[in-house]
């Protein structure tokens, strides 16, 4: 059990996890609001053209935002390892607030010309910086706050709140589409509502995070006086860095393929209406949400590695079939079933990837070690998922994208087969033993299975 877990009552632990999670929810709501509302604001920021071309432009800006995520993972990871998890989490939500407010107030292309997409890109860069720093720090915070017996369960709430953020963005869009605004109103000005709400929620999250408790793991690492938060120190752990990159590659591509892309995929390829596509995406995410803690808790019993292997095997064997099924779906229920099948498989990655990465690194480099290699991989594979899918469609070879997803998951499967189970060989637990038995870890009690 971690030192933090020993000193925290269940109520204080829940309060700390809630404080760490609620900002994550707001961050990911803002991040996904861009994708959810892109079908409406694309004509506002870009010259007139066919739908695929406009979506390509917005997907390109979506990908550009991902380019800042490694910078965020690097800068805020260093900041979190040197100045604390709480300080970094407050800074990340402040940056997200600024980016959302900028999108909400930005004039259109017809008003200011090329300055409009330039403002959109700058706002997206701020959001990318924020999300890049949020992932590594929040994964570290939740993992360090949890006790070792339930670490998979508690850390899974990072993706619970992540998915909740996306779900809230889609739910808002459904409400606006079906009850409050017309299609024309949504396209003219209604899409701005999502970003105004996001900025307001970010301010609320900033206030709540002021009351967060710093983790004992960070405090203990600071007392030890080890050099913290630098690339030089991170590169002393090459195996762990490469493991994060390899296990993230197929997982992040699958995650973005089955969460953010289906809304456009169903409209642009399947021929569904925008409202039906939004409803399918929202319903599938609603079912996807409670799977995270269930599988996270399962990993506390059977280990992390078997669950990752299950995702790798099923994803490699079925990604092509599932994506083909979505493309050929003729009813809402059929499309929902295919999307949901993909999400059930992806749960083997999403529910535990954060804790696996946190368990790989020592406390003095943990936030940077989790955040930077993860953000680099997500930028390359997750951030380009929509753009590549749309590009393959534009050149007339859409199934190439299905094979691309299959191949990337297959590569990650090789990593899952090669790596050790981090539940059994957790560096978080090893840190506790090093604090209890300084200079003589081998004499310490064995880490419990």
Inter-residue contact 437 to 443 (CB < 8 Å):
yes
pLDDT digits (tens, 9 = 90+) for 261-289: 998 899 989 999 888 998 898 899 999 99
Q: Percentage of residues in the chain with pLDDT exceeding 90?
A: 57
Specify the range with the lowest mean pLDDT, choosing from 82-86, 123-127, 374-378, 445-449.
Answer: 445-449
CA 121, CA 399: separation in Å to the nearest integer? Answer: 30
Q: What is the mean pLDDT of residues 304-318?
A: 98
Which fold would CATH assign to domain 3-230+237-436? Growth Hormone; Chain: A; (1.20.1250)
Inter-residue contact 206 to 94 (CB < 8 Å):
yes
CA 433, CA 262: separation in Å to the nearest integer? Answer: 46
Closest CA to 346 of 278, 418, 285, 396: 285
Q: CA distances (Å), 199 to each of 34, 98, 164, 191, 195, in order?
A: 13, 7, 17, 14, 6
Structure confidence at residue 373 (pLDDT): 96
Q: How many CA atoms lie within 13 A of 309 on its CB side?
A: 12
Structure confidence at residue 209 (pLDDT): 85
Determine whether 407 is exposed, middle or buried from the number of CB atoms within 10 Å of its CB (0-12, 13-18, 19+).
Answer: middle
Inter-residue contact 45 to 109 (CB < 8 Å):
yes
In this model, does residue 326 exceed pLDDT 90?
Answer: yes
Inter-residue contact 244 to 360 (CB < 8 Å):
yes
In this model, does residue 449 exceed pLDDT 60?
Answer: no
Q: What is the mean pLDDT of residues 66-72?
A: 88
Q: CA distances (Å), 418 to each of 129, 249, 295, in order?
A: 32, 15, 21
Q: What is the mean pLDDT of residues 78-91?
A: 92
Closest CA to 169 of 323, 311, 39, 307: 39
Structure confidence at residue 445 (pLDDT): 41
In this model, does residue 96 exceed pLDDT 60?
Answer: yes
Instruction: Determine the straight-line distance between the first and last CA of the chain, rounded to whole angstroms.
Output: 12
Confidence of residue 44 (pLDDT cuts 50, 70, 90): confident
CA 333, CA 323: separation in Å to the nearest integer? Answer: 15
In this model, does residue 436 exceed pLDDT 90?
Answer: no
Rg (CA), the chain: 21
CA 73, CA 334: separation in Å to the nearest integer? Answer: 38
In this model, does residue 1 exceed pLDDT 50?
Answer: no
Determine whether 430 is exposed, middle or buried from the number of CB atoms within 10 Å of its CB (0-12, 13-18, 19+).
Answer: middle
Inter-residue contact 155 to 394 (CB < 8 Å):
no
Q: How many CA atoms lie within 13 A of 312 on its CB side?
A: 21
Confidence of residue 407 (pLDDT cuts 50, 70, 90): very high
pLDDT digits (tens, 9 = 90+) for 420-434: 999 999 998 876 666
Could you state, in order of their start, the residue ranges of all structural domains in the chain? Answer: 3-230+237-436
In this model, does residue 440 exceed pLDDT 80?
Answer: no
Structure confidence at residue 410 (pLDDT): 98
């Amino acid at each position: 059990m971690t030192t933090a877990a020993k000193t925290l009552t269940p109520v204080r632990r829940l309060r700390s996890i809630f404080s760490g999670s609620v900002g994550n929810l707001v961050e990911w709501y803002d991040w996904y609001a861009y994708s959810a509302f892109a079908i409406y604001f694309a004509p506002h920021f870009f010259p007139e053209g066919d739908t695929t071309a406009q979506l390509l432009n917005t997907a390109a800006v979506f990908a550009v935002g991902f380019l800042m995520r490694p910078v965020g993972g690097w800068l805020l990871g260093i900041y979190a390892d040197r100045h604390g998890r709480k300080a970094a989490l407050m800074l990340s939500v402040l940056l997200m607030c600024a980016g959302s407010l900028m999108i909400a107030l930005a004039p259109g292309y017809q008003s200011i010309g090329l300055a409009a997409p330039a403002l959109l890109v700058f706002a997206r860069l701020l959001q990318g910086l924020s999300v890049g720093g949020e992932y590594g720090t929040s994964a570290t915070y939740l993992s360090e706050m949890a006790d070792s017996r339930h670490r998979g369960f508690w850390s899974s709430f990072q993706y619970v709140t992540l998915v909740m953020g996306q779900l809230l963005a889609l739910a808002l869009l459904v409400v606006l589409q079906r009850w409050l605004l017309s299609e024309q109103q949504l396209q003219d000005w209604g899409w701005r509502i999502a970003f105004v709400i996001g900025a307001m929620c970010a301010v609320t999250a900033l206030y709540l995070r002021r009351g967060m408790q710093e983790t004992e793991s960070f405090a203990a690492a600071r007392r030890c006086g080890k050099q913290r938060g630098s690339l030089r120190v991170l590169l002393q752990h090459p195996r762990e860095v490469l493991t994060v990159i390899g296990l993230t590659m197929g997982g992040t591509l699958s995650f973005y393929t089955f969460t953010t892309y289906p809304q456009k995929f169903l409209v642009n390829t399947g021929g569904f209406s925008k409202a039906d596509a939004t409803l399918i995406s929202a319903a599938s995410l609603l079912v996807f949400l409670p799977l995270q803690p269930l599988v996270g808790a399962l990993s506390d019993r059977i280990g992390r590695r078997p669950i990752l292997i299950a995702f790798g095997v099923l994803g490699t064997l079925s990604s092509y079939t599932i994506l083909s099924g979505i493309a050929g779906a003729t009813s809402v229920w059929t499309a929902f079933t295919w999307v949901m099948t993909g999400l059930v498989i992806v749960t083997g990655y999403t529910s535990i990837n954060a804790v696996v990465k946190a368990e790989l690194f020592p406390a003095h480099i943990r936030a940077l070690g989790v955040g930077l290699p993860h953000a680099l991989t997500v930028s390359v594979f997750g951030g380009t998922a929509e753009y590549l899918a749309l590009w393959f469609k534009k050149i007339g070879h859409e199934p190439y994208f299905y094979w691309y997803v299959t191949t990337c998951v297959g590569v990650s499967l090789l990593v899952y087969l090669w790596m050790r189970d981090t539940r059994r060989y957790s560096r978080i637990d090893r840190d506790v033993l090093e604090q209890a038995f300084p200079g003589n870890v081998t004499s310490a009690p064995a880490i419990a299975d």
